Homo-oligomer: A and B are copies of this chain.
Amino acid sequence: MEFYYYSLAIGILSLLFSLVAAYTVLKKPEGTEKMKEISNAIRAGSKAYLLRQLKTIAIFAVVLVIVLAFLPHGLQLDVAFITGAVASYLTAYLGMNVAVRSNVRTTKSAEKGVSHAFSTAILGGSVTGFAAVGFGLVGLSLLLAFLTLSKVELLIGFGFGASLISLFARVGGGIYTKAADVGADLVGKTELNLPEDDPRNPAVIADNVGDNVGDCAGMGADVFESYAVTLVASLLIAAGLSLSSAQFAYPLLIASAGIIASMLSMAFLRIGRGGSPTSALYKGISASIIIAAILDIAITYLGHYPAGYFISVLGGLLLAIVIFGITDYYTGTGRKSVVKVSTAAKGGAGTDVIMGLAVGLRSVWLPVIAVVVGILVGYFSAGLYGIGIAAVGMLSLTATILTIDSFGPITDNAGGIAEMSHLPEHVRKVTDELDGVGNTTKATTKGFAIGGAALSATALFVAFANAVGLTSIDALNPIVTVGIFIGVLMPFIFSSFLMEAVGHAANLMVEEVRRQVRTIKGILTGKAKPDYAKAVDIATVNALKSLVIPELIAIVTPIAIGLLLGKQALGGLLVGMIPASFLLALFMANSGATMDNAKKYVEAGNFGGKGSDTHKAAVVGDTVGDPLKDTAGPALNSMIKVVSTISILLAPIFVYALI
């Protein structure tokens, strides 16, 4: 089965690409001592957090390794699990480590203009992008090389390992970043009238650390997981349908084609003469989709695959760009919905939030239709396998999307460093422009991640039914109904803990900032330095403390339902959990992004601009939106996949169910 070697080779190529990108960006100059000092503080905080998080993860992982060992083929499952977890953690760790070094280099290159700074940030982002797909493909290919086809289901261990890390990274990073951000904004902007990233704000370093551990490490692990899990799901479906080994190879070939397409499209991810950052990003994404489609046609034709396979892949590729566009339509700067929310801010914070929630609720319909069409296209062109293939098609763009996404926190940090180092106006103008673009890409790639999670979870659901040997899950069976109710319930409870954690930690942060402003004399005139480390510590401790319960909910609920009510009920749980989590995640992400951009719209001078009552109202809306869009919403992605993979993983024990 030589195709494993192809995908292994492409995976290694991708890792090499990532290394070269890392080397190139690290060679760039770092700027002044002041800049280095700030960058170092952010770096130290980020690393410290990730290492402390690792300890919590280790406890969970050890328990799980022991539990898995008791399942059939337990040791092989353990190897797969550990491989998945390590690959995911390496992606997150490596990506973040390069990001915290790319930020200051982006600031420095901003001196030479927007196109230089853009390239530096993109290069830094591509390290995460290509590391993720590289680790994913290499890990899976190696496992496949050692497994016989009859044991393909053990790959779910790899998927579960990736999911577990992703859940930690998303939940912990999400709580951290928003506790710091909300805390910094509530006192800084509303009470003290300080601008964003002002060095006099004691929470400013914590805020920048949060960008890295949340948007960078969290997002990296999340998308890595979607990528890994989607490939695993499609391979499981193929194995379940007893397809030939050539058909079985198709998802791996499509994934490899996606990596090549992403590499080639890096050439388009630059600002040409008279170009803008946004147009460069769109060019890059379009190029990767077109190149991928061409390669995919070639693979389908040369490999004598049914044309329906290619149609499924194309459906997935188009879904990626459609969801991108939809998210931009509802949440992009200056869009109708954003203006509507800013207009509502004239009536006060209350109407701003009401309208922001309304827009978020509304924004979900087009993505749902798009995913539904994707599912139907996949199914009608290539049966159940088509759903898996469509998901692989969409996720084959991961390297490009993740590159663009990691661009966000790098430019965000670059702006912060420029502000804190008091760099000249023209440099800050460049970093501000890129920061604005980064905000939009963060929202749109979040749409990609959420849509990808929904599609891959649907594929996992098919794989689940195979794994537990169900040929139907009848919603008229009251046991299934009960499972569905509990499945719909899961995202509500899960996100309630995250929202509460942010609310609580942000309040502590507010009190700490107020305390420092009150007790450290000269802090507001810039004569005394705030105690940044204390704020970093509050975010770290609270994020880690609040991790445990949501993790347990995601892991224990499916096990409990499976053992108490049996596999029919567990199937029902997935039936309810997947769409409910998908929609809640979209609602939360889009509400938050819209309220964020509504605030920016006011800050751009509309309805009274900065400092006006309308601005104050819009800042409250942004604060409410923060944990929705950066904590609860994205974490639901990871929850969907942890619950799905653990349901498949533990399929063998659900025969012992009570009912």
Contacts and interface: CB of A to CB of B under 8 A. Distances in A.
Nearest to A378: B478
A37 interface: no
Contact of A485 (B349, B353, B579, B623): B579
A485 B368 contact: yes
A620 B613 CA distance: 14
A232 B476 CA distance: 19
A458 B481 contact: yes
Interface stretch (A223-231, A354-362, A405-413): A354-362
A519 interface: no
Given A376-B482, A489-B583, A493-B361, A499 B351 contact: no
Interface stretch (A133-141, A295-303, A534-542, A570-578): A570-578
A68 interface: no
A365 B493 contact: yes
Contact of A583 (B476, B488, B510): B488
Given A350-B506, A465-B476, 15 more contacts: A186-B348, A343-B507, A344-B507, A351-B507, A355-B499, A355-B500, A358-B499, A361-B499, A365-B489, A371-B485, A387-B478, A474-B475, A475-B480, A488-B582, A575-B575
A242 to B, nearest CB: 17
Interface in A469-505: 470-476, 478, 480-482, 484-489, 492-493, 495-497, 499-500, 502-504
A492 B591 CA distance: 12
B475 A182 contact: no
Contacts of A29: none
Dominant SS at the A interface? Answer: helix
Per CB-CB distance, the 6 closest pairs between chain A and chain B, nearest first, are A350-B623, A361-B496, A358-B499, A362-B496, A358-B500, A488-B579
Nearest to A506: B351
16 contacts: A351-B506, A354-B624, A355-B503, A357-B499, A361-B499, A362-B492, A362-B500, A365-B493, A474-B475, A475-B571, A487-B579, A488-B579, A488-B580, A488-B583, A489-B583, A580-B583
A375 interface: yes
A506 B347 contact: yes
A535 to B, nearest CB: 15
Given A347-B186, A620-B620, A364 B492 contact: yes
Interface string A614-645: 00000110011001100000000000000000
Contacts of A461: 481
B620 A583 contact: no
A268 interface: no
Nearest to A586: B492
Contact of A624 (B353, B486, B489, B495): B353
A346 interface: yes
A190 interface: yes
A379 interface: yes
Nearest to A383: B478
A311 interface: no
A372 interface: yes
A80 interface: no
A587 interface: yes
A430 interface: no
Given A350-B186, A485-B368, A579-B484, A503 B358 contact: yes
Interface in A324-365: 343-344, 346-351, 353-355, 357-362, 364-365
Interface string A29-53: 0000000000000000000000000
A236 interface: no
Q: Which of A349, A362, A504, A628 gathers the greatest number of chain B CB atoms within 10 Å?
A: A349
A260 interface: no
A377 to B, nearest CB: 11
A462 interface: yes
A372 B474 contact: no
A526 B374 CA distance: 63
Contacts of A358: 496-497, 499-500, 503
B344 A503 contact: yes
Nearest to A619: B350
Nearest to A482: B372
Contacts of A473: 474-476
A478 B465 CA distance: 13
Nearest to A501: B358
Given A361-B495, A472-B472, A507-B344, A620 B350 contact: yes
